[in-house]
Structure 1
Amino acid sequence: MTNLLDRSPREHTGWPRALALTVAGVALLGLTGCGDGDGDSEKETGVASVSRSGDAQNPREAGKRSVSPSDPDAGRPQLRLDTSPEEENRLEQIYFTCLRDEGVPMTRTAEGTLIPDKTRMSDSNSFAAEYGACRSKAPLPPPEFDAEKNPDWDEGFRKWLTCMNERGLKVKALPDGRGFTFLPMKVVPPDVQKIQDECQKKGFSQ
């Protein structure tokens, strides 16, 4: 899921989706350059840090979050582990459409969906006001992905990484246990983001 759902420039570290998000900041740019690496090299090819406060609710499936008025996430749509990819995409596109209307540079994927265009942003905080204006539409990831809310988070995180390694996406946990780094891979598996998303759901669902 991913983990790469844009929230605000200050919070944002990954493109295009964070519904995972809750994995933020998967540096995939380094992955394609490690085809010649060998298993003995521990050179990091990218880091994904895990969000400590969830980011993505589905009004159709779960209703609005029940939170205090002072909660900055009040009213935001809340994703669940069983939220369908179609519904997830629908909510994400509502959010991205808001960002576009507020003036955040956007582009479209090959499938025609909107995503923020990071190549047209001078720095991470250039559009803080615009992201803030759309915050109420930014989906929150499932609470299971939040280390501060899920008492079994450490076990889910371990299973998530095990699943990715079993599917050929070589990763290792960061020292603080709140993210992971890519290891050198002679062959980078296709659908890297899909593997991350599916393994995250699997890890935290068990």
Structure 2
Amino acid sequence: MRAADTFRSTGSRRLLAAVTALSGTLLLGSCGGGADQSKDEESTGVASVKGPTKGTGDKPAKQVERPLVRPDSSDEEQLRVWRVYYDCMAKQGVEVGKNKEGDLSAFKDRDKDPKFPAGQKKCGHLEPETPSWRSAREDPDFRNKADKWVKCMRSHGAVATVGDDGMFALDDATVHVGLEWSDKCEAEVFLAK
């Protein structure tokens, strides 16, 4: 995993927090009885669930799973997956830098680019994620796994921490060791059966 692949913007974190808050509000709001009770409910005292009316387009939103960049993927495979995302963002007008091979490889300044939010809205489903990022979103046991990941990296001499979003940070003095062991330790902890 390259350092550029592990950066998640504050905008992404804010978006995740907003989606979570909105989901909770919608779920809680749908639990009340409301003033428009049906005749059946008034007479029986039992509320019934009614499906969507024909033609309203009320369909549940389908969750699109982002591409997973496994730590045991080849560099070519990781580059291919990231290239799809960066190409999409570039087509939306987001400034994307290039590496020495000429491939799109990182955002120039995603926090200050005015086109980034719209690009992320259109291309966000293509943004690759690591097993730790996915675990942070979906796995209730994430914190325990993150602690094991840090313990593994520390056992090899890296001074590391992992945030609640699945992003890790390394002490400047041990970056080289941490980058060497982060993928191996991540695979050991997050991909173990």
Give the TM-score normalised by the residue count of structure 1.
0.52
1:102 aligns with 2:92: yes
- SS of equivalent to 1:197: helix
- Could you report, residue by residue, the CA deviation over 1:81-110 in whole angstroms, capped at 9, with x for unpaired residues? 654443222111111011112111111123
Matched ranges for 1:26-105 at <5 A: 70-71=61-62, 73-74=63-64, 76-79=66-69, 83-105=73-95
Percent same amino acid at aligned positions? 26
CA shift, 1:196, in A, is 2.6
Gaps of 5+ in 1: 14-51, 53-67
Q: Measure the CA separation in 1 of the matches of 2:7 and 2:176.
A: 23
Matched ranges for 1:1-206 at <5 A: 1=1, 4=5, 10-11=11-12, 70-71=61-62, 73-74=63-64, 76-79=66-69, 83-119=73-109, 123=112, 126-142=115-131, 145-172=134-161, 182-183=170-171, 187-190=173-176, 192-206=178-192
- Could you report, residue by residue, the CA deviation over 1:40-59 in whole angstroms, capped at 9, with x for unpaired residues? xxxxxxxxxxxx9xxxxxxx
Q: Measure the CA separation in 2 of the matches of 1:8 and 1:154.
A: 21
Larger Rg: 2
Q: Measure the CA separation in 1 of the matches of 2:116 and 2:165.
A: 31
The range that moved more, 73-82 or 196-205, is: 73-82
Whether the 8 Å contact between 1:96 and 1:114 is mirrored in structure 2 is yes
Q: Measure the CA separation in 1 of the matches of 2:71 and 2:102.
A: 25
Gaps of 5+ in 2: 15-19, 21-58
Whether the 8 Å contact between 1:145 and 1:204 is mirrored in structure 2 is no
**Is the helix fraction higher in 1 or 2?**
2
- SS of equivalent to 1:198: helix
Q: Which one-letter code corresponds to 1:168 in the other structure?
A: G
User: How many residues are treated as equivalent by the alignment?
Assistant: 148
Q: Measure the CA separation in 2 of the matches of 1:81 and 1:188.
A: 20
- SS of equivalent to 2:147: helix
Greater RCO, CA 8 A, separation 6+: 1
